[in-house]
Structures are given as structure tokens and as C-alpha cells.
Chain A
Amino acid sequence: MLATSRAFEANARAGLANDNLQRALALMRTGFPQRRRLAVERLPEFEVLREIAKSIKDHTLEHLDFYLELFEENVLASGGQVHWARSPDEACAAVLAICRSVDARIVTKGKSMIAEEVGLNERLEKNGITTVETDLGEYIIQLRHEPPSHLIAPAIHLMKEQVAETFRAEHLALDPERSLAEARQLCDEARAVLRPRFLAADVGITGANFLVASTGSSIIVTNEGNGDLTQTLPRVHIVMTSLEKLVPTLEDATTLLRLLARSATGQEFSSYTTVSTGPRRPGDLDGPEQYHVVLLDNGRSALLGGEFQDMLRCIRCSACMNHCPVYAAVGGHAYGWVYSGPMGAVLTPSLIGVAEAGHLPNASTFCGQCESVCPVKIPLPKMMRHWREREFAEKLNPPVYRAGLSLWAWVAKRPALYHALVELASRALGWLGRGRGRFRTLPLANGWTAVRDLPAPEGRSFHSLWAERRNGGTVK
């Protein structure tokens, strides 16, 4: 997928000015966090499970080569195939080859962020294969030619009127008299339109929330049932996934599953959690004849052993973005690529480079909400800070900013000088602001005063006053 992360500031401004988006985000802000909190309250062991989940993932990552080989062994033993892809191009090529081998015309897709990452739909379409997104949110944005704006709710940025507008424009068989005013009606319309596509598909592509090494299984976690129809009805099921989705055993997957839905939507468990292992068995009446796993690297192996390894624990729950005040202000499209919110701020620079995506880890107050709700305890602010360190080391910050920081630090290392300057400045600014107690505008402070007043200092510095009281003997 083409990135516009470089234009984060402009994207963010557009998001802030978008009334529909702001209304949609307001719904999200009260929805997800509240539901997650209730779910966490209902499970006393939640905190302990977070720590266990973190250690399961860490253990797996430390031995990822072993678990990948074991996974492959078991996929093959159950009659499936594994395709290793170093790059987006190799991943797309693998999928294309499979599709061609069965003369596929129509491909249905369950939600897959890996597919977004590698630009799969575009590649298939270019080769004459129709791709049909079946997750309701993904379907809507496919019609609108938009990228997803959220990890699990791709169309979260839209209000229902916008969805209705899109259906009216794209669903040619839709009777103009039929009401699409309510979510219920929109869902029913999508259900009716997509059902024949499910049945017509030659190949079904899903993602995977987890891969289980001990059994060679992939696990999808959905609510709609589209992932299951996608993988069960066609002749071929392709799982598009990445290296770090692996866990050792079914029991390990279970522990993570206990955290996933609760962290994501506040559900105890999703409506459909499906564990798939290989193609249909002899005697089965349904199920795909072929089962393929496309394992994408695309930079993940390079993150191991380094300061971003913790990011590979991510189970794609979206709790971080659901609780992020920056995401809640600008929406997911501002981030300019597949992954948004705090996890996007950390992952995107590692996948597309910090020169392209440098704004993302900078646009954070480090409030720490994300880290506090991450089910696998990824220290997201810390890793955003690592990106800032890389940028600083590579001199990617604006020169004025660097100079200012340098100067300030130079003075701060010299307390006597610092105190003298602070006293001087507080006297000057305190005097200037004594009339109103604050400034509407101030030279060099435009970033602040553009949107808020700057309170005036009291007029003396603490240290000079303290020195006076010590020396002057006036007891406080």
C-alpha cells in the first residue's frame, strides 16, 4: 500500500476538519474503552494473564526459527503448503501463482492487514482476478477506494449516512425506494450482496491472528462469519500471515485468545474463533481442497534482537489506538499507511523507514495509555522514543529545533548561568504580562499562542526568591 505518512501534519489537519470523522471518533472514544474496562473487571485474572501472554510471545520470538520450522512441519503433515515470502513482491507472487494454478476468477477475502501491507488486491486485480472484501468494514472501504483506518474496524471513520451513500452509488441493483437509514438495513444489504460472492469464489484468502506451531494451525478471530465463509466455501484457502504470529501450543493460543477479544471490543470471546488445520479430510462434505500459508517477513526478522523486538509481540487487538487521544483526534488515515495509532507509530517506521514515517512516533505526548492497555505489555512510548533517538542521531529533525534544544541543554548544564537567565527572563516576562496575567501573542511562542494564551510568570524565579529568604532571614 502506498504510504502518505510523510504528510502526517496535513493528513491530521484534514482529519481534524472532517466533521463526519469527528462524529465517528466521538463514538469510538466512548465505546471501546468503556467495553474493555467492563470486560477486564469481569476477569480477575486479567492482569496476570497479560504477564503470561507477554512471556509466551517473548519465548516464541527468542526461538522463532525453531517454531517456524515446527509449524511448517505440521502444516505439511496435515496436507497444507507453506510459502515463505521475504518481501511484499514474493508474497503477492505466491498468491498469484496459487490463484493461476486453479484458474481463479473471483477471490473472496477475510480481513488481512498483511494483504494490505503487500498491496495484494491491486496485484490480483492487475492480473484479471476480481477481489471481493467480505468483512463489512473492508467491503465498504473497498467500494470507496479508501484504505482501512483502524486495525479491527476498518470503516470506523464513517457515519452511516456515508455508508448508505456508497451503497446507493455502487449497488446497481439497489431499489432507490428502499431505506438504508439504519445500520440494520445497511448490514442486511451487505449480507444480501455478498452472499452470492461467497458462493462464487474460487479462492478464499484470510489473515491469521495466531499460528500454532504444535499443530500447524492458523486461527482467525471474527464476529461476522465472513472469515469462515471465505475459507470454507472456495476450493482453495490461502492464509496471508507474518512470521511473528506464531505461538507454540493450543494452550498458549488460548491464553492469548482470552486477552484478545476483551482488549479489542470488550467481548469475552469473539462470535467466531476458528482454528484451521490443512485442507478438507477424506470424507469431509465441505471445506477447501487446498490450504496454503503465505509467511511474510518484510522486515520482521530484522527487528528481532534489537530495540524494537517487543513490537513483534503485538496481537493486533487495537486497544492502543482505541485509547489513544491522538488517534481519537485525527483518526487512522492521518497515519498514512496500513497501521495506525500507537502500534502504527512504532511499526510503520520499521517497515517503510523513519524518513517516510518519522512524524508518527513524534506525534505523541507519551501519555502512556497505550502501554497500560496493551495485552502483551509492549512499551510503546519507549519504542517511539527510540525512533526519536534514531532521528536525532541521523539529524532528521528541523535545524531550528535542534539548535534550540542544544542551546537550552548547554545552559541547563550550567546552573549558575541558568539561574541568572531564568531570573532575568521571568522578571522581563512577568513585567510584560503583569496587566493581563497572560499573553495572547508572544514572539517565538507562536506554536503555543496560536491556540491558547500563555500565562505570565509570577516575575521572580523560585531559586532567586529562595536565596533571598535564606539570606534575608525572612522566615516564610
Chain B
Amino acid sequence: MRVALFVTCLVDFFRPTIGFAAVKLLEEAGCTLEVPRAQTCCGQPAYNSGDRADAKAIAVQVLDGFEGYDHVVVPSGSCAGMIRVHYPELFADDPAVLPRAERFAPRIWELVSFLVDICGMQTVDARWDHRVTYHDACSGLRELGVKDQPRRLLASVGGLTLKELPGAEICCGFGGTFCVKYPDISDKMVSDKEAEIVGSGAEAVLAGDLGCLLNIAGKLHRHGRRIEVRHIAEVLAGMTEEVPPIGLPR
């Protein structure tokens, strides 16, 4: 299986370890992995701002760089959802590109769902003695159906116990530019999420989207909460020693 990694702009800039964790997991699952150089972003910021022209230009760049692969894997439900669900919509009025987008869509995957649903991964070898809770990032959940897969793999991590959040599926308030355009509302949403995480008694919170994680970590640390925030890939790949939790120094 020729698999390409779509790194995402946030992982590239903020936390490459997530990308390397994805590489490790995919190679362990038997994939031959490549990372095409000509990738920057999936175009969602432009798309959600109503700038279809720029969104299309960036999307074509993605298609150019990735459509030759059997599968393209993304450590983010948000970006994977953009490509899988929204590229066909973006090119609905463009008969030249639409077929490419439609052909490409079923081959793009969020990381954890790819590992479980396509590679058939049932367990991981990692160990992490932590009481953990999990935030279901909106796009992954509602656009791509990512729900059971992370839980299945987390259940196999040695020493890890999972406490569910009652509002696991409620938006954390990141929403791309929303969090800076409407900071008061975003603050309320992330505060509610924070309260639930703290109330769960968990030592760590995980999710599959770095945007959510930056938002949640930022809020927890603003209030001095000693709760580790990590991307699930870091835990599944056993790479928690390689990098401190999000928002904490080395």
C-alpha cells in the first residue's frame, strides 16, 4: 500500500512529534510511507472564510501532490474531513477538477480510523500509566465517524484507564478562526470543556486534532491545571518521552 502522510499545517508548525508518531504507527502497520514535499495546508481556513478561490488553488495543490497514492493519512479529522467531504463540494461547479476530487475523496483518512479500519490494527504495544480522558473532535466525529477507533486502541495501552467525558462530543470552541473572531464565546466553550476535564479527575486529556488540543491546553495552562494534553498518536506510538505535553517546557 503506497501511503502518503498529509502532515497538516498545525502539526508541521507546532508539534512535529505528532507527525513522527503517525509515521511510526503507519510503518508498524506495514505501510510504505512517503511525505510529499509540496504540501502546506488543506485550504480549510480560506474555505471557511468564504474565500473559495484561494481554497480551490490550495486544494488543487493537494490533489497534485497526493492523488497518485493509494491512501493519504492525516493526523487530524478536521483536515481529513476538509479533503474527503468538502473538496467535492468546493469543486462542484468545476467540471475539470470535480472528478479528481471525487476520485480522491475515499482515499483520504484520519490517522486512527485508518489504522483500525483499513490496517486492521487492534492493539498497540505502548504503555502509559495514566488516567486519561478523551475529547471527540467535531469533524472527525461527525464528518468521518471517528468514535470507536481511538477508544479501541487506547484500551490496549498498558496502564491506561479511560474516563469518558459526559460532553466528549461537544465542541471545544476552537473552530479555526472562530476562536479569535469571537474570543468571548470561544472562551465560554473551552471553559465548559475545561470544567468537565477537571471534573473527570483525569491526569491527561487526549484528542485527534491539534487545533482542539492547543485550545484546550491553552485554557488549562492559563489556569495552572496540572493536566497533560497530548495528541493520541503520541500515546499510541509510545513517544510520550520524546516531547513534553502540549504547552509545557522541556
Binding site for B on A (CB under 8 A): 9, 12-13, 16, 325-326, 329-330, 362-369, 371-372, 382, 385, 387-393, 397, 401, 405-406, 408-409, 411-413, 415, 418-419, 422, 425-426, 433-438, 440, 445, 447-448, 450-458, 460-463, 465-467, 476
Contact = CB atoms under 8 A, between A and B. Distances in A.
A13 B243 CA distance: 38
Contacts of A456: 247, 249
A462 B89 CA distance: 30
A438 B218 contact: yes
B143 interface: yes
Contact of B138 (A362, A368, A451): A368
A452 B219 contact: yes
B13 A329 contact: no
A372 B29 CA distance: 33
A462 B138 contact: no
Interface string B35-63: 10111110101111111101001100100
B17 interface: yes
B50 A385 contact: yes
Contacts of A405: 45-46, 49, 51, 54
B138 A367 contact: yes
A415 B175 contact: no
B185 A16 contact: yes
Nearest to B175: A365
Contacts of B181: 362-363, 401, 447
Contacts of A369: 138, 142, 169-171
Given A393-B50, A415-B61, A452-B190, 15 more contacts: A364-B175, A365-B174, A385-B50, A388-B49, A401-B181, A405-B45, A412-B43, A412-B58, A437-B247, A451-B187, A452-B219, A458-B16, A463-B35, A465-B16, A467-B37
A461 B7 CA distance: 10
Given A366-B175, A450-B183, A451-B219, A434 B14 contact: no
B37 A463 contact: yes
Cβ-closest 4 pairs across A and B: A365-B175, A447-B180, A452-B218, A388-B50
Contact of B187 (A437, A452, A455): A452
Contacts of B43: 412
A438 B221 contact: yes
A146 to B, nearest CB: 21
B12 A463 contact: yes
Given A412-B40, A415-B61, A463-B12, A367 B218 contact: no
B51 to A, nearest CB: 5
A445 B215 CA distance: 13
A445 B50 CA distance: 22
B12 A453 contact: no
14 contacts: A16-B188, A329-B185, A363-B185, A369-B142, A369-B170, A385-B48, A393-B50, A413-B54, A415-B39, A419-B40, A422-B13, A448-B179, A458-B15, A462-B11
Interface stretch (B19-27, B110-118, B200-208): B19-27
Nearest to B174: A365
A460 B182 CA distance: 30
A17 to B, nearest CB: 9
Given A413-B57, A455-B246, A462 B19 contact: yes
B49 A451 contact: no
B125 to A, nearest CB: 16
Q: Which of A411, A415, A440 has the most CB of B within 10 A?
A: A415
A415 B40 contact: yes
Given A415-B37, A438-B247, A462 B175 contact: no
B94 to A, nearest CB: 15
A64 B24 CA distance: 57
A123 to B, nearest CB: 35
Interface residues of B, number: 72
B249 A435 contact: yes
A350 to B, nearest CB: 16
Contacts of B99: none
A276 to B, nearest CB: 39
A451 B222 contact: yes
A453 B174 contact: no
Contact of A426 (B14, B38, B188): B14
B244 interface: yes
Contact of A438 (B16, B41, B169, B248): B248
Q: Which of B7, B12, B61, B176 has the most CB of A within 10 A?
A: B12
Given A455-B214, A462-B11, A434 B250 contact: yes
B51 A447 contact: no
A362 to B, nearest CB: 7
A437 B214 contact: no
Contacts of B182: 9, 12, 362-363
B189 interface: yes
Given A325-B189, A413-B61, A466-B19, A389 B50 contact: yes
B51 A455 contact: no
Given A365-B138, A462-B12, A454 B183 contact: no
Interface string B59-86: 0010000000000000000000000000
A451 B247 CA distance: 15
A437 B49 contact: no
B186 interface: yes
A387 B49 CA distance: 10
Nearest to B245: A437
Given A16-B188, A325-B173, A409 B46 contact: yes
B35 A466 contact: yes
Contacts of B143: 368
